[in-house]
Amino acid sequence: MLKIKRTEQEWKQLLTAEQYHILREKGTEVPNTCSIIKNKEKGVYTCIACNNPLFKSSEKFESHTGWPSFFEPYNQDSLEYKDDFTFGMKRTEVLCKSCGGHLGHVFDDGPPPTGKRYCINGIILKFTPVKLLHKKTIEKKK
């Protein structure tokens, strides 16, 4: 996987203030505020900063937590994991493997088949519907 490196100034120019806060400063969006949480379309969720595929819509589920939740990543090379001991507890932080941006956390209370709940900040996700994915594939073949 190609690692994307930018200066903090470049990240600030590329991202909105809220996206920067979440991705680069490990912030969290206010629960139930992103439109992606209610999205039911088929497609792929990518990192807003680098377009790395992170999750498929078929792995999304309603966790009633206020953040988009997934039970499995797009593939094993999409994400990185890091121990997070903030707030006096041990959690597993989820990072974009391409740009290193903070996405959220993963917990062991998700549905089958994995039992995982990837609790992800929706504002840093970009959704591409499956119909547009197919169009891009067709255009590349021409």
The answer to whether position 1 is within a domain reads no
Q: Using CA of residue 21, residue 24, residue 29, residue 33, what is the dihedral sign?
A: positive
- Catalytic residue list: 119
The answer to whether position 3 is within a domain reads no
Which range marks the domain in which residue 52 is found? Answer: 8-141
The total domain count for the chain is: 1
Return the CATH number at 45.
2.170.150.20
Residue 100 CB neighbours (<10 A): 17
Q: What is the pLDDT of residues 35-78, one digit of tens each?
A: 899 999 999 999 999 999 999 999 999 999 999 999 999 999 99
The whole-model pTM stands at 0.89
The answer to whether position 39 is within a domain reads yes
